[in-house]
Structure 1
Amino acid sequence: MGGQEEAGAPSAGKKQQKSSKEVYFCVLPDKYEPLIEEEREETEEERKKRKEEKKNKRKKRYKKYRKNVGKALSFSWRCLLAGLQSMASTYSTPLSAMATVVTEVDRASSSRA
């Protein structure tokens, strides 16, 4: 088994031999025109306009994030308050009344199923 691994893949200790690559050359036609992009300077107005667009885009994105985070926080807060209220009502009721309430709740939930 060990011999097959060595034959299939070169070991990490050995360096791969350097080899040359074939390079192909071709002659360009006489009508060839290289594509050169014109470098034009950006005016001050264009720069300001681009900055304003960026700023507005960022404002919209942050507004959406704030809205979603606000919804998530308000929902979490409501769930926390509901849990605390149910826990408070559980601790404030006497033990004898609680046994009756728990059995009634179990009957109601089993009749739904």
Structure 2
Amino acid sequence: MGAQEEEEAPPPEKNKQHKNSKEVFFSVLPDRYEPLIEEEEEEEEERRRRKEEKKSRKKKKYKKYRKNVGKALRLSWRCLMLGLQNMASVYSTPASAASVVVTEVHRTAGSKA
């Protein structure tokens, strides 16, 4: 009879989900706790720092070039404008007045020397 009772018992349901509580462990951290930093994070940080340094060096170099190019352009623009003004004054004045101005300029330069 005992064998028949075991067969007649309903089989346990495997699909039924049972609610279980999980065990949680707590630990007290020491005062001088330092989290572990993986090597990848250190390498990434170093790579980022080198990239920033390289960027700042490039920025300084370009700033220097822009400054020098700006000076050269201003000087060449002044020289161009001065030349154009001189050429315009030569064409606009009569030939007799130009010779008088030139001779006076040479005399004053010679007397100073």
How does the TM-score come out when normalised to structure 2? 0.60
Q: Tell me, what secondary structure is at the counterpart of 1:48?
A: helix
Computed over aligned residues only, the root mean square deviation of the Cα atoms, in angstroms, reads 1.6
Query: Which residue does 2:43 correspond to in 1?
Result: 43
| Identity, % of aligned positions | 69
User: Deviations for 1:47-87, whole angstroms, at most 9, x for unmatched residues?
Assistant: 11111110111101110111011011101110111111011
Counterpart Cα distance in 2 of 1:61 and 1:103: 49
* Alignment size in residue pairs: 74
Gaps of 5+ in 2: 1-38
User: Deviations for 1:79-98, whole angstroms, at most 9, x for unmatched residues?
Assistant: 11111101110111001111
Counterpart Cα distance in 2 of 1:99 and 1:44: 76
Counterpart Cα distance in 2 of 1:67 and 1:96: 45
**Runs of at least 4 residues off by over 2 Å:** none
Q: Which structure features the higher share of helix residues?
A: 2
Q: Verify: 1:62 aligned to 2:62, yes or no.
A: yes
Counterpart Cα distance in 2 of 1:84 and 1:53: 46
After TM superposition, the structure 1 = structure 2 runs for residues 1-113 of structure 1, keeping only pairs within 5 Å, are: 43-113=43-113
Gaps of 5+ in 1: 1-39
